[in-house]
Amino acid sequence: MRKTNDLILQTVTKIVSFMIFMFALHIFFAGHNNPGGGFVGGLLTSGAIVLLLLAYDLKTVAGSLPIDYKILIAVGLLFAVGTGLGSLVFDVPFLTHAHDIFTLPILGETHLHTAVLFDIGVYLVVVGTTMTIIQTIGENE
């Protein structure tokens, strides 16, 4: 097969995939007060990785992002279940969340909520699942 030259696609991808990733993080953290959250954030992140997959190939991307996405799913689930398990420790009903206002060094007064931990779980599971599906289908000869 003749080797094609993907210079424009690859260069644009280098910039755009970072922008998508940053936007995904923004959407993820906006979830509590604005539209967004773990699910759509996770989808956007995997969108960024899929763009990398389109511009490069499976091996290159797997080399630069050495993540086993199946383990990522398990870690995400662990986050989600673990948030609930915290409530077992404090003997309140399962999945009871806690929140408070903390003063952090750079960010100043920040409203922190354990629901974010749950959302991180959702985020990781969504990224893991999407990427597992795409990689497994892509690998098949």
Partner 1 sequence: MSNLLILPIIIPLLTAVFLIFFKKYILVQRWISVISVTATLVTSIILVEKVKNDGIQTLDVGSWPAPFGITLVSDMLSALLVTATSLIALCCIIYSFRSIGEGRERNYYYPVVQFLIVGVNGAFTTGDIFNMFVFFEVMLMSSYVLLVIGGTKIQLRETIKYILVNITSSALFVISVAYLYSVVGTLNMAHISERIAEVNQPAILTVLAVLFLIVFGLKGAIFPLFFWLPGSYYAPPAAIMALFGALLTKVGVYSILRTYTLFFYHDTGFTHELLMILSLLTIVLGSIAAVAYKDMKKIVIYNIIIAIGVITYGIGAMNTDALTGSVFYLIHDMVIKAVLFLLVGLIISITGANSYDKFSGLIKHYPLLGWLFFISVLALAGIPPLSGFIGKILIVNGAFSNGDLVGGLIILISSLFVLYSLMRVFINGFWGDPEGSKKKESIRMGTYLFPVIILVGTAVAYGVFSEYVHMYVSQAVEVIENPEMYIEAVLQK
By CB under 8 A, name the binding residues for partner 1: 70-71, 73-74, 77-78, 81, 84-85, 87-88, 91-97
Burial classification of residue 100, based on how many CB atoms lie within 10 Å of its CB (0-12 exposed, 13-18 middle, 19 or more buried): exposed
Could you tell me which residues come within 8 angstroms of residue 102 by beta carbon, excluding any fewer than 6 positions away? 109, 110, 112
Helices 7-30 and 38-55: crossing angle in degrees, nearest 10, is 170
Q: Determine contact, residues 13/51, Cβ cutoff 8 Å.
A: yes
Least distance from partner 1 to the Cβ atom of residue 37, Å: 17
Least distance from partner 1 to the Cβ atom of residue 92, Å: 6
Least distance from partner 1 to the Cβ atom of residue 45, Å: 20
Least distance from partner 1 to the Cβ atom of residue 70, Å: 7
Complex with partner 1: residue 43 or 77, whichever CB lies closer: 77
Complex with partner 1: residue 54 or 129, whichever CB lies closer: 129
Complex with partner 1: residue 60 or 136, whichever CB lies closer: 136
CA atoms within 13 A on the CB side of 50: 17
Least distance from partner 1 to the Cβ atom of residue 105, Å: 31
Complex with partner 1: residue 91 or 141, whichever CB lies closer: 91
Residue whose structure tokens are 């509590």:
32
Could you tell me which residues come within 8 angstroms of residue 132 by beta carbon, excluding any fewer than 6 positions away? 69, 70, 73
Complex with partner 1: residue 11 or 136, whichever CB lies closer: 136
